[in-house]
Chains A and B, each alone.
Chain A
Amino acid sequence: MTDVQSHARPEVPPLIGARRETANERTGRQGLTMIEVEEVGKSFGGTRALDEISLTVDRGTVLALLGPNGAGKTTLIRILTTLLRPDRGRARVAGMDVEADAKAIRSIIGLAGQYATVDELLTGRENLELIGLLSHLDKKVYRHRTAEALDRMSLSDAADKPVKTYSGGMRRRLDLAASLIGRPPVLFLDEPTTGLDPRTRNDLWQLIEDLVADGTTVLLTTQYMEEAEHLADQIAVLDGGRVVAKGTADELKDHLGGNVLQVRMADRADLERAAALIADLGNTPPVLDRELNMVSLPVTDGTRVLIAAGRTLLDHGIALNDLGVCRPSLDDVFLTITGHRTGLSDEPNDESNWQR
């Protein structure tokens, strides 16, 4: 089924959920590479934004690029969406080269996120219809898809109001809708949920999941562990323009070699003394969280360490609020791999990151 050309057919297919894969395509889907990045490098002035990055994304899967601001996530997205030329290496989307076949790539991709925006002075509907027209869809098709996208994004009521009256969440939904109007088989989402409240974020997650179930390939960037864990088939951890780790969420956690012992002190004054007392039990040095008054320690034999740590701390008269062993969070993974915390958080909570 040729989705990109679907406007040529008499009936108008829905925005999401219309792709019917043949049995052949379904079985052949796994392992087919949709996005290939080979040793791509990019510098700005003297700064290396990307340092020989290589990765692949299979058709119909989600790859999350996880990393702090300045890790190179957006630069990679800009290269793959033909907005920026790589200095070195090759990048391909659907087998087409981002430099040689830039025009062809633009007709099969959608871009949404912090650097692709919507027009504040136009209404939501005007914005989407303009994108539809410029994606070379027939008027009938883009009108229909616009109405459908507005409905799906719960923006129907605000459809004919100028975007400058929209809330941050509404803008994000419109932005995502704009990237879907052309029904692209490959979608690039640059921090799609940064700054959104949890409910809106969950709605967007559901939408992205529906798109992927439909066969769309998604490459997204995020600063949130939870998001990467929830959406991504594969996670690539970026730091300083390099891929420092790649795998599924579970694989990355296994990389830590087991579990994390977490001890929360009743008294702030005990934090450092407690960390020193249990340091010998861990695989790597303990990590102190002063805000939560907690010590985290990567360990191998969880149960034995749990008992030993509890006994040691009690013997030294340290009162505990909480003591437990859990699977490491991706934040722990990041810390272990890169050796530094990054300002990454599990909870999207502030808008300062994307509002410029």
Chain B
Amino acid sequence: MTDLAIRHSAAQSVTITPRLALRDMKGVTKRNLLRIVRTPQLVVMSIVQPTIILLLFRYVLGGAFHVPGVNFVNFVVPGIFLEAVLIGGMTTALALAQDLEVGMIDRFRSLPMARTAFLAGRTLADTCRNVLALGFIIGLGLLVGFRFQNSVGACLAGIALIVTFGYAFTWLYAAVGLTVKDPQSAQMAAILPMFILFFASSALVPVSTMPGWLQAFAKHQPVTVTVDAVRSLFEGGPVYHDLWQAFAWCLGIFVVFFTVSLNLYHRATR
């Protein structure tokens, strides 16, 4: 093989067609799904947390809350659906930090695969697991008295919005995992945005019950607008204002953290 032949064939393989990129992503997704299936304890862990919150708010704290004009179960359960995908996304940070720590990322980066495929395959696999966990929590919600009250189409749209929201956040967690670089810190770092966004939102209590300075933040942040849109889709009522804001947040988070994560991946060193 001559120098010229090597360079020629190398030059040919530089062009990665969308078809090849998709094939790479499928390969990486399959790898991550196999890992998820083979560590069922992690899947269980990501279900346990929202289960506890659900039972806590339904049976322990629920009696003390009174949200005027609504059934409290129907108010709080959609918020916990959203929490399930937020918690689930944390494993994206954990898994990437792990891949970085043991050198898997070096292996992938030395291959001629599409640059986006590694992260796209990660976030897609984690979204699959999110769907699974969400299915479980929805079942549990129905069991404790939550009811869908709108048309089937609207309710499915609500569930789709939760999944989309979760997908956008896996990219945020990807950036977290690639920044902190070790699994323990990744867990700590990932829990922070989750706690702030989830608890300072309308997921568990109406924003109007919060002090004014907190309201200013809580009213407009992504979890609040998304959970409000989801509630409207599940229960009926005006939805468009919250819905377009929720979509704008999802799109914004996706675009920003897709770019950031890709950059981090490209320069990833241990």
- A interface, CB within 8 angstroms of B: 1-5, 19, 21, 25, 32, 78, 81-84, 94-96, 101, 103-109, 111, 114-122, 126, 130-131, 133-136, 162, 178, 182, 185, 215, 356
> Which listed residue (B10, B24, B106, B109) contacts A108, Cβ 8 A?
B10
> Which listed residue (B14, B28, B31) contacts A103, Cβ 8 A?
B14
Task: Tell me the bound Cα distance from A106 to B16 in angstroms.
Answer: 13
Question: In the complex the two chains form, is A107's CB within 8 Å of B106's CB?
Answer: no
Sorted from nearest, which 7 A-B pairs have the closest CB atoms?
Answer: A107-B13, A104-B10, A107-B112, A4-B9, A117-B103, A134-B113, A133-B27
A31–chain B nearest beta-carbon distance, Å: 12
Question: In the complex the two chains form, is B38's CB within 8 Å of A162's CB?
Answer: yes
B17–chain A nearest beta-carbon distance, Å: 10
> Which listed residue (B3, B20, B109) contacts A136, Cβ 8 A?
B20
Question: In the complex the two chains form, is B110's CB within 8 Å of A116's CB?
Answer: yes
Residue of A nearest to B104 (CB): A117
Question: In the complex the two chains form, is B1's CB within 8 Å of A134's CB?
Answer: no
B23 within 8 A of A: yes
Residue of A nearest to B35 (CB): A121
Task: Tell me the bound Cα distance from A322 to B68 in angstroms.
Answer: 97
Question: In the complex the two chains form, is A133's CB within 8 Å of B23's CB?
Answer: yes
Question: In the complex the two chains form, is B31's CB within 8 Å of A122's CB?
Answer: yes
Contact partners of B109 in chain A: CB under 8 A: 82-83
B117–chain A nearest beta-carbon distance, Å: 8
Question: In the complex the two chains form, is B103's CB within 8 Å of A107's CB?
Answer: no
Question: In the complex the two chains form, is B9's CB within 8 Å of A107's CB?
Answer: yes
Question: In the complex the two chains form, is A83's CB within 8 Å of B112's CB?
Answer: no
B107 within 8 A of A: yes
Residue of B nearest to A25 (CB): B2
Q: List 25 A-B contacts (CB under 8 A).
A: A4-B10, A19-B1, A78-B269, A83-B106, A94-B3, A94-B7, A95-B3, A96-B10, A104-B10, A105-B10, A106-B110, A106-B112, A107-B9, A107-B112, A108-B10, A111-B107, A116-B103, A117-B103, A121-B38, A122-B34, A133-B27, A162-B38, A178-B107, A185-B6, A356-B102
Task: Tell me the bound Cα distance from A185 to B12 in angstroms.
Answer: 16
Task: Tell me the bound Cα distance from A210 to B45 in angstroms.
Answer: 49
Given A115-B106, A133-B27, check contact A32 B9 (CB 8 Å): no
B247 within 8 A of A: no
Question: In the complex the two chains form, is B5's CB within 8 Å of A134's CB?
Answer: no
B123–chain A nearest beta-carbon distance, Å: 17
> Which listed residue (A5, A116, A136, A215) contacts B107, Cβ 8 A?
A116
Task: Tell me the bound Cα distance from A124 to B39 in angstroms.
Answer: 18
Question: In the complex the two chains form, is A2's CB within 8 Å of B112's CB?
Answer: no
Residue of B nearest to A134 (CB): B113
Given A104-B14, A108-B9, check contact A136 B27 (CB 8 Å): no
A134–chain B nearest beta-carbon distance, Å: 4
A211–chain B nearest beta-carbon distance, Å: 14
- List residues of B (1-56) whose CB comes within 8 Å of A's CBs: 1-3, 5-14, 20, 23-24, 27-28, 30-31, 34-35, 38-39
Contact partners of B10 in chain A: CB under 8 A: 4, 94, 96, 101, 104-105, 107-108
> Which listed residue (B11, B12, B35, B102) contacts A122, Cβ 8 A?
B35
Task: Tell me the bound Cα distance from A77 to B117 in angstroms.
Answer: 24
B72 within 8 A of A: no
Given A5-B12, A130-B31, check contact A215 B106 (CB 8 Å): no
Question: In the complex the two chains form, is A119's CB within 8 Å of B111's CB?
Answer: no
Given A83-B109, A94-B3, check contact A119 B35 (CB 8 Å): yes
Task: Tell me the bound Cα distance from A32 to B1 in angstroms.
Answer: 12
B57 within 8 A of A: no
Task: Tell me the bound Cα distance from A82 to B35 in angstroms.
Answer: 27
Contact partners of A19 in chain B: CB under 8 A: 1
Contact partners of B108 in chain A: CB under 8 A: 134
A323–chain B nearest beta-carbon distance, Å: 48
B173–chain A nearest beta-carbon distance, Å: 20
Task: Tell me the bound Cα distance from A118 to B31 in angstroms.
Answer: 12
A136–chain B nearest beta-carbon distance, Å: 6
Task: Tell me the bound Cα distance from A356 to B12 in angstroms.
Answer: 38
Given A116-B106, A133-B24, A134-B27, check contact A104 B7 (CB 8 Å): yes
